[in-house]
């Protein structure tokens, strides 16, 4: 026997949070299904409902997935780093890159020194290998 009662749509995280009925016209249902309620609450806490909708409507349809992911990431970063948000992570990574580039330069200098020492020793110590990588 078929069930005559239509299956109720599960409210999205946004509608569930706002305690309203979620229908097919819900703009946020695609981005915040029920399973992503934590993500929605983080975004809601940081941006608010109206700003989230305003941001979403201000971008082209094909950019909305990336926009929502960006809002979610920003909200998570703000939770982990309340003062500077993602900027503190970017700064840490920038310092890490700078440190690694200095290490790379030292390694290049050591390689250059070793190659110089190898060239002075003469071609017979290389076992017949060429200089080309
Ligand atoms: Zn909804």
Count, residues in the chain:
133
Residues 76 and 91 in one domain: no
Residues 52 and 97 in one domain: no
pLDDT per residue, tens digit, the chain (133 aa), is 444 455 567 899 999 999 999 998 999 999 999 999 999 999 999 999 999 999 999 999 999 999 999 999 999 999 999 999 889 989 999 999 999 999 999 999 999 999 987 777 665 554 445 555 5
Quick check: is 132 in a domain?
Answer: no
Quick check: is 126 in a domain?
Answer: no
The residue segments making up the domain with residue 53 are 9-80
Residue 37 burial by Cβ neighbours in a 10 Å radius (0-12, 13-18, 19+): middle
Joined together, the tokens standing for residue 78 give 């703000």
Ligand 1 geometric centre to CA of 78 (Å): 24
Residues 72 and 20 in one domain: yes
Residues 76 and 89 in one domain: no
Ligand 1 geometric centre to CA of 71 (Å): 17
Contact 114, 122 (CB under 8 A): no
Residues 75 and 17 in one domain: yes
Ligand 1 geometric centre to CA of 47 (Å): 17
Ligand 1 geometric centre to CA of 60 (Å): 20
Domain count, the chain: 2
Residues 55 and 108 in one domain: no
Residue 53 burial by Cβ neighbours in a 10 Å radius (0-12, 13-18, 19+): middle
């Amino acid at each position: 026997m078929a069930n005559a009662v239509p299956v109720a749509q599960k409210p999205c995280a946004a509608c569930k949070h706002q305690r309203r009925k979620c229908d097919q016209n819900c703009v946020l249902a695609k981005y915040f299904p029920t399973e992503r309620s934590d993500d929605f609450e983080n975004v809601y806490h940081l941006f608010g409902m109206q700003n989230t909708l305003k941001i979403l409507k201000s971008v082209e349809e094909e950019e909305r997935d990336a926009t929502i992911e960006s809002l979610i990431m920003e909200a998570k970063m703000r939770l982990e780093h309340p003062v500077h948000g993602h900027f503190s992570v970017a700064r840490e990574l920038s310092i890490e890159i700078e440190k690694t580039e200095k290490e790379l330069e030292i390694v290049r200098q050591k390689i250059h020194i070793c190659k110089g020492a190898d060239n002075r020793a003469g071609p017979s110590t290389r076992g017949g290998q060429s200089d080309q990588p």
